[in-house]
Structure 1
Amino acid sequence: MSTDFQQAREVLGVRLRELRLSAPEGRLTGPQLAQRLGWPHSKIYKLENGRQTATADDLRAWAEGVAQPHVFDELDARLKGFESHIRSWRRQLAAGHRPVQESWNTEVARSSVIHAWEEAVVPGMLQTADYARHIFLRYAELQNSVRDTDAAVRARMKRQEWLYQTGRKLHALIWEAALHALVCPPSVLAGQLDRLAGVIGMDTVELGIIPLGEPLKIPTANGFWILDDRLVITEDWHAELWLDDVDSVAAYMRVWRTLRESAAYGADAHNVISTARRALNPR
C-alpha cells in the first residue's frame, strides 16, 4: 500500500478518535462506541489506528454515534480525498482487473469529452479485444494479480460503446513508439493498427499520432486521461492516481495541448500508422 495512502488513513483515524473523545454527551470509550454502533471493538481500534479503510457508511455511523452528525461531510471529504487520489495496484487488483475496468466505465459514462495521451500502448478505448487481452495478461503476471482476463476484456470493450453515442468526443494522442511496441504477437498488433486506421474520420474520435522523429517541446513521460474538466487519471508502477483538483486538471491539460503541437492528424496520421503496419510485414 502506498505511503501517502497509509498516512492519509492514519490522519483520518486521529480525527475519528478526537470526535469520540469530544462527544457532546461526554467522552466515549472504544467499547462504548462499538456497542452503540453494533460493531466489534476491533473495528474501532482499526479505524482509529489507520489499519482499516473506512467506508462512507462507516463515517456516517461514526458521526451519528458520537452525536455530531454535522461532521459527516468533513469526514466524507477526507475519505474521498485520499481514496480517490492514490489507488495502489495492490489494493485495486486484489479482486482482479475487471473491477478496475468497471470503475473506469462508470467515470467514462459520466463524461462528454475525453483527452487521452499514451506513449507506450494504444489507448484502451481504441484497443481490439486481442490486444487488450495481452495487455491484461502481462500486467497480471507483473503484479501477480488475479487472472480474470476475459472478464476484464469484456468490461474494456463495453466502455468503447461510448464512442458510438451522440455528443461524445475522444481526443486521443499516441506516440508512434506505441505502434511498434510488441507487447503482443505481431499478428495481434497488425489487427490493432488496422483498428486505429479505421477510427480516423469517426466524428467522435480525433486521433493524433506523434511521429518518432518529430521535435517535442516536452518529454513524452507517462500516459494520462482527462475526463471533461473534472478528473485526471494517470498511473505509475505502484498506483493509479485520480486527480480532481482544479490546478492538477489544468496542468495536465497544458501538457496535452503542448504534446498536440507535435501530432499528425488525418491523412498524415494514417501514413504513420501504415508505415508501422508495413514494418510488421516487410515483404
Structure 2
Amino acid sequence: MNRLLDAALDRTIVGGYSRAGYALRARGFAPLPRLDGATVAVTGATSGLGLAAAQGFARLGARTILVARDPERGEQARAATAEHGTAELRIADLARLDDVRRLATQLQDTDILINNAGVLPPHHTLTVDGHELTFAVNVLAPFLLTALLPNARRVITVSSGGMYAQKLDVADLDSTAGDFSGTKAYAKSKRAEVVLNELWAQRGRPGMHAMHPGWVDTPGLQRSLHTFHSIAKPILRTPQQGADTIVFLGAIDPSPPSGRFWSDRRQRPTHYLPTTHETPEARQQLWDACVTRTQAPVA
C-alpha cells in the first residue's frame, strides 16, 4: 500500500484501526518465514490476542508456551493451540511479582517473549505487593520478566492505540489522584510500555518491539468496554488480524531495528499530539521506578 494512503488511514483512527483498514493493508503482506526450533512464550494466552498469537506461532513451527493465570482456561487454550503445533502451558499470576520470578525460571530457553497480558479493572485495586493492579500487570510484570530473560532474542510488547491520548504520568503511577478511571489507567500503562520499549533499546538490548493491534473483538474488550464493543462490533478486527503484527515481529528475518513501535507490519509514530511528549527526566524516573519496585537485575 502507498505510504501516504497508509499514513492517512492511521490518522483517521477508524480507517486505520478497523477491520477494513487491516484488509486494505494485508493485500501487500508477504508470507512469514518458519520458526522451527524456536521457543515462543506468550503471556495472557487464554483468549483474544494472546491465543491468536500463540496459534500463529505454532503454525510457523515454533514450540509455543502459553502463560495463563487460570489452569482450566489455560489448558483449554493449550489444547486449542496444539491443534496447530507444539504447545505447552505455564501457570502464573502476573499481578504477583514472586510469580513472575518463578515463571522466569521456567522460561529460560525462550527465544521470543510476547508480553501480551493486560488488565483494565473497573476499580482501584492494590496487588499483594502494594502496586495498583493495572500498573502491576501491564508494566511491572513485563518489565521484570524481560529483565529476567536476557537471552530472549526478541521481546514484543502488546500496547494499545489508546496510549496516543495519554502522556507519561510518573507522578501518579498508581493512579491515586482523583477519581479512578480504569480506561485512563489502562491508557497510561500502555504509554509507559512504549516508553520502556524505547529505553530498553537505548540501553543496548536488541530485538525490542512494541505494537498496537487496532480495534479487536476480544473477550477483554467486551468485558471492560462493553458500550464501545457494542457500537463498534461490526468494524472490529478478528483476534487473528489483531495478532498478525505480533507474529510478524517474532518471525521476520532479520529482526527490525530495536525500540520501534508498530501496527499492521509498519513502524508508526509514538506521538500524534504535542501534549503527550514526555521529558527525558520523566523517562528516567519511569525506568528507576520500575527497577525499584521489581528489584530487577538491571542498572
- TM-score bracket for this pair, using the shorter chain length: under 0.3
The structure that is helix-richer by fraction is 1
Which of the pair has more CA radius of gyration?
1
Give the TM-score normalised by the residue count of structure 1.
0.28
Q: TM-score, normalised by structure 2?
A: 0.26
